[in-house]
């Protein structure tokens, strides 16, 4: 088990990092209903056998305005190669009659943090501003996790309200503490400076990888 110390991991019984993978993300700009977005993405995923994970944003009309796909670094769901990610995004973009853009960033990090404590559906959903009160220097916006997963039992869709938080590398300890405060089981760090992403499992993680 690990924790942060001066931007690195030290041995204390609080956090555990999974094996890092090469960072990749890309995004689509859209203007479709959530129902149409989900239906089309599920269909594409079933056709090409890929799992799609990332986050979506919506406007005040509840239309999906963007989908950012990331490489989710969990072996449990299968880690898609960068080439497969790009090919999969091209197919998805074509299905929506648009193109995708690579989400290239060179410094700092991004974390997608669940706004609902743990997996307790009865827990209150925190506001983005609230979760960032103790996260100085961070820039955040509301979004929703969106994942289409291919499993032995078929195709499943997972969504969750989240805050997408970007900050400088020296703020990374704040992300770990926030994940603990929100009783998250796990969250993903995208370290742009090092070009890697990995899952952080907290002391609340009931099914570690």
Domains with residue ranges and CATH for the chain = 2-20+106-139+163-201 (no CATH), 22-102 (3.30.70)
What's the confidence (pLDDT) of residue 154? 87
pLDDT at 1 over 50: no
What's the confidence (pLDDT) of residue 34? 98
The pTM is what? Answer: 0.90
What's the confidence (pLDDT) of residue 12? 46
What's the confidence (pLDDT) of residue 120? 83
Give mean pLDDT, residues 50-75.
95
For residue 152, with 0-12 CB atoms within 10 Å meaning exposed, 13-18 middle and 19 or more buried, which class applies? Answer: exposed
For residue 2, with 0-12 CB atoms within 10 Å meaning exposed, 13-18 middle and 19 or more buried, which class applies? Answer: middle
pLDDT band at 205 (very low <50, low <70, confident <90, very high): very high
Ramachandran area for residue 195 (φ above 0: left; ψ -120 to 50: alpha; else beta):
left
């Amino acid at each position: 088990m690990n924790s942060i110390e001066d931007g690195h991991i030290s041995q204390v019984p609080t956090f555990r990092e999974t094996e890092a993978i090469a960072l990749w993300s890309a995004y689509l700009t859209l203007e479709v209903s959530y129902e149409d977005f989900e239906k089309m993405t599920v269909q594409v995923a079933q056709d090409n056998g890929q799992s799609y994970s990332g986050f979506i944003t919506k406007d005040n009309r509840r239309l999906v305005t963007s989908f950012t796909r990331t490489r989710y670094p969990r072996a449990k769901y299968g880690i898609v190669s960068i080439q497969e990610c790009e090919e999969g995004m091209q197919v998805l973009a074509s299905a929506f009659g648009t193109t995708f853009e690579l989400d290239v960033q060179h410094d700092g990090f991004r974390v997608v943090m669940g706004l609902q404590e743990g997996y307790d559906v009865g827990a209150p959903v925190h506001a983005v501003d609230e979760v960032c009160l103790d996260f100085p220097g961070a820039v955040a916006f509301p979004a929703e996790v969106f994942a289409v997963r291919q499993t032995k039992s078929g195709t499943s869709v997972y969504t969750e309200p989240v805050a997408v938080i970007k900050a400088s590398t020296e703020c990374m300890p704040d992300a770990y503490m926030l994940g603990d405060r929100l009783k998250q089981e796990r969250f993903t760090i995208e370290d742009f400076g090092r070009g890697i992403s990995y899952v952080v499992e907290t002391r609340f993680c009931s099914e570690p990888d």
